[in-house]
Structure 1
Amino acid sequence: MPRLQLMPPLLLLLVSSLHAQEPGTTSSVEVTSTRRPDMALPMTEAALAQQWGLREEEFDRFRTLMQGPLGTYSPNLDPLSALGIEARTDAERRRYALLQVEAEAARVERLLAYQRAYDQAWKDRFPAMALVNSPPMSSPVTTNATLKKAVFVRYDCSECERLIKQLQTSGTAFDLYVVDSEQDDKRVRQWVQKAGIMPNKIRDGSITINHDNGRWASISTGGVLPAVMNQVNGKWLRQ
């Protein structure tokens, strides 16, 4: 008996489509755009430069700088930092420093405005449920009577846990801020238990437990965590 040979599925589909076509006609493929009509177009260089208070030629220089060694060593630098670091004159350096101070002040003000809105929304939505703790964002420590160190930690950080245990052993009073708490009280309480913070320290106020809510970003220039911060003459300095 002769063997029955099966036609591959892809070839079978092609043959079927050819047979279904009217004799004497040609096939056509309609190509449609996949971009939605409301999809935003990329910002122009001019618009990006304007956002940073820069001229177009300055933004072009920033792009060029980031293609060289500066971009290799510091790939996430913003335009003002990059141009300030690579300033060619003192006047340029002062200009970019001033622009960056103004940009940072505006950013912090937006951050504080959102924090105020968040706190109010929490009170409106959950009037009977308090946050873990919510001192003013702009100043974790506000009076001499409550003057303490501000300690910033991450949730998954064994070094952070070791630091907290050392501070407790030395009897240091501090305000603890969990930077990646995700506004989850349960998550913060779990971290407190892992770090072995003693309940009596919390009850007597020598240690406070807080959601970060952007405080770390508002008083620091970044860096790895944990971080112990001291307020000196109104400024926060890393210990």
Structure 2
Amino acid sequence: MAESESAPTQRQSTVQSLELSTTERLDPKISRAEQWGLNDDEWQRYQSLMQGIRGSVSPVTLSPIEVLGIHARNTEERRRYAEQWAMMMREDAERILAFQHAYDKAHTRLFPNGVLIDTRALAPSESRRGLAEDLSWQPIDRVLFFTDTQCTTCDAVLERLVSQLEQFDGIDLYLVDVSAGEESRIREWAASKQIDPTWVSEQRVTLNIDAGALDKVTAHTGQQSATLPLLVLWRGEQLTPLPVSRF
């Protein structure tokens, strides 16, 4: 009798374990859907879309809301996803600005007499000008590349620079006509320029909003900030202007 009772008990335990395992596997999916403000049906549709051509042609940073909005089945659905994405981007921009403000205050408080950048190292000395004109890449080199989303000359220079990417550490791209909250424009631009998402995930290429970086760099290198593209070699602690003609 004991043996006949133990078999159902064992089967029941196995079923409960399987149910728990299934629940554990589903929980991350449910939490991710909730994180994006989507219900289960929307999340399943998003996953289905990403298994098709959308997943093949889109950058890895494309959000579920953008995917659903791109493939909206009617005007009302497109409007709803657009509003949802706009709200999330605005909230994210507010968080970023709040943290930046807190960081600025903390840095001033902790390092009241500290100098973050040695302007003497940034000055475009004659020796560094010669380096830029007769450049031989080093593994530590990075290039700061300032451009905008409508600069065809910049696109051609970027294409030639990317062809040499294996010879140096990476490229930091700054979009001067993109503001906080418009991160999706950067992703769309990068995809249109065939920036490999793997490069971005490995930090070989970074995508950045300018946010005043151009003015700060040109103030030290003596370049004309109005002329795009603007390239700067970042080697160790030195910033050196790179002539566009080199590429």
TM range (shorter): 0.3 to 0.5
Q: Which has more radius of gyration?
A: 1
TM-score where L is the length of structure 1: 0.42
Which structure dedicates a bigger proportion of its chain to helix? 2
Kindly indicate whether structure 1 or structure 2 has the higher relative contact order, using CA contacts under 8 Å at least 6 residues apart. Answer: 2
